[in-house]
Structure 1
Amino acid sequence: MSKGKSRLEELKALVEKNPTNPLGRYGLAMEYFKLGMYKEAVDEIRAYLALKDDEGAAYRILANSLLQLGMKEEAKEAYRRGIESAMRYGHQDMVEEFEEALESID
């Protein structure tokens, strides 16, 4: 990380330089999520998912961000898509985690 630049600024610059780099988008989404910038996290994780077939973890960020924004139906759909993705990649623990999370949304 460059002196004087925040991690967020570094990741934003990386994405601006190469907007089709899925890892840059994922990293930026994670940083937004950590900072409680949920709308921005949703935007970036959706951009990431448009570029890459994720194994499931990105849907956790998407669903949790949507829940923080009060968007329960969209969060449920994110978990459903995450379950499908995790199943495709054989991540049974993630499938179970997402199923439990989906059931807990009132």
Structure 2
Amino acid sequence: MTPPSRIDAFREMVRKNPENHLAHFGLANEAQKLGLHAEAAEHLRAYLARYDDEGNGWGRLADALLALGDTDGARDAFRKGIESSHRFGHPSMAAEFEARLEEL
């Protein structure tokens, strides 16, 4: 029997404890790597609902939404990422999100 894949391990963690925000973040990252953008967006939203992210999660959500063709949702995620980045003292991340937002 082969060991579970990383994504399956994170899915199991989320199944066992749906309130575990880090498991949602890990699952979202693995899903994005595999091009599972809808699953990534779902778990990034769950993560962001439970954790005051410093900006990175919002950028990842924007990327997933762009891959799904949801430009308005991506714009909103970038705006929230900009707010979070400023709140946590990450001006370069905020500037990156502002530039990407202007491109949309």
Q: Specify if TM > 0.5.
A: yes
Partner deviation per Cα, 1:62-85 (whole Å, 9 max, x = no partner): 000000011101100100000001
Q: 2:7 matched to which residue of 1?
A: 8
Corresponding position of 2:69:
70
2:29 corresponds to: 30
**Cα RMSD, aligned residues only:** 1.2
Letter aligned with residue 64 of structure 2:
S
After the TM superposition, list the runs of 4 or more consecutive aligned residues in structure 1 that deviate by more than 6 angstroms.
none
**Unaligned regions of 5+ residues in structure 1, if any?**
none
1:48 lines up with 2:47 in the alignment: yes
1:26-77 deviation per Cα after TM superposition (whole angstroms, max 9, x unaligned): 0001011111000000100000011111000001110000000111011001
Deviations 1:3-47 (A, max 9, x none): 521111100001111111111010001011111000000100000
1:104 Cα deviation (Å)?
Answer: 1.0
Structure 2 unaligned regions, length at least 5: none
Q: Which amino acid aligns with 1:89?
A: F
Partners of 1:42 and 1:10 lie apart in 2 by 18
**Percent identical:** 47
